């Protein structure tokens, strides 16, 4: 049975526990960087198909990290909104040095 979280503050420690593998965190970070680049290109070049590429890039890198390095199922399957927010909070925490890259 899936654990329920009252809010994101409760969810984030669980999210981080699902990302304890350093290689997985790096893959998430690289995927998020790719998403930002593809989103910028989609806007600047007016190419909407790059939005789909951004989605594939972000989830592709993250899921490789989960399936091959963490050996767990992505939290996005049971907690899609919190997981999406968690990706960007972890990205910020890596950029600011709060989480080891």
Residue from 64, 70, 82 nearest 4 by CA: 82
**What is the rounded distance in angstroms from the CA atom of residue 17 to the CA atom of residue 80?**
16
Per-residue tokens: 49: 């198909």
Buried-state track 77-101, b at ≥16 Cβ within 10 A, e below 16: eebeebbeebbebbbebbeeeebee
Instruction: Kindly give the confidence (pLDDT) of every residue in the chain, 101 residues in length, as a single tens digit, with 9 standing for 90 and above.
Output: 568 899 999 999 999 999 999 999 999 999 999 999 999 999 999 999 999 999 999 999 999 999 999 999 999 999 999 999 999 999 999 999 999 88
pTM reported for the whole predicted model? 0.92
């Amino acid at each position: 049975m899936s654990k329920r979280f009252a809010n994101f503050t409760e969810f984030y420690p669980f999210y981080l526990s699902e990302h304890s593998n350093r290689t997985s965190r790096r893959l998430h970070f690289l995927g998020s960087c790719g998403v930002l680049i593809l989103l910028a290109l989609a806007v600047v070049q007016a190419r909407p198909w790059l939005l789909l590429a951004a989605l594939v890039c972000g989830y592709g890198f993250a899921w490789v990290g989960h399936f091959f390095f963490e050996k767990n199922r992505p939290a996005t399957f049971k907690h899609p909104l919190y997981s999406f927010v968690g990706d960007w909070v972890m990205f910020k925490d890596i950029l600011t040095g709060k989480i080891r890259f």
